[in-house]
Structure 1
Amino acid sequence: MLTIEEACQGFAAVGSEPRMGVLLSIVQAGDAGLLFREVGERTGIPASTLSHHLRFLAAAQLITQEKRGRETINRPNFDQLEALSGFILATCCANVPNREETEI
C-alpha cells in the first residue's frame, strides 16, 4: 500500500496532459519500454521538455530508466502504477456502517 505522500507524488506526476501522454506511450510499449527518442517520436514532445517529463515520472517511480550506453530505455513500473490506480479505491466504503448492524 502506498503512503499518502507516494500517492500524491504519483498523482502529481500524471497531473499534466503531456506527462500523461508520455506515460501512456511507455505503458503501451509494455515491458520492452521505449528509448528516449521513441517516446519523443510518439508524443511529439521536444527533447528538452521530454527530459523534464521523464524525470518527473521516474521520481514518482511510475517508470524505470535503464542506461544502455548513450541511450536510455524507459519502462513502465507496473507494480507502482497498479498501487497508484488502486490507492483511492482501497479505502472504499471504510466508513460505511456494517449493514447488518443498521437493520432492525
Structure 2
Amino acid sequence: MITMRDRAQALEMKYTQEQTWLFRAEARRNKLIGLWAAETMGAQDPLGYATNLAEWGVEHPTDVQLIDRLRQDFTAANVVLNEDEITSRMHALLIEILEEMRT
C-alpha cells in the first residue's frame, strides 16, 4: 500500500524533474533568442552573444530581466523593436523547444 510519505516523495521527485526540464528549456530558449537578437542587431559574433546571453540568463532567471536586457542591447545597436515582438518571439521559441523535448 502506498503511504502518504511515498506519495509526497513521488510528487517532490516529479516537481524536481519538471523544474529541471523547464530550466533546460529556458536556457536553450535564451540561446536561440540570443542568436535571433544577434542577427537582428548585426553582431559580429552571434554565437558568442547568444552564449553570453544564455549564461547571463542563469543568474537573471526571469523573463522580465531578459526582455530588459534585450531591449537595452537593441537600443544600443540602434535597432527599433518593441517589447511585444521580443516577448512573442520568446514564447514561440519556448513552445517549440518544449514540444521538441516531449518527442
> Same-fold call, TM > 0.5?
no
TM-score w.r.t. structure 1 length? 0.27
TM-score w.r.t. structure 2 length? 0.27
* Between structures 1 and 2, the one with greater strand share: 1
* Between structures 1 and 2, the one with greater helix share: 2
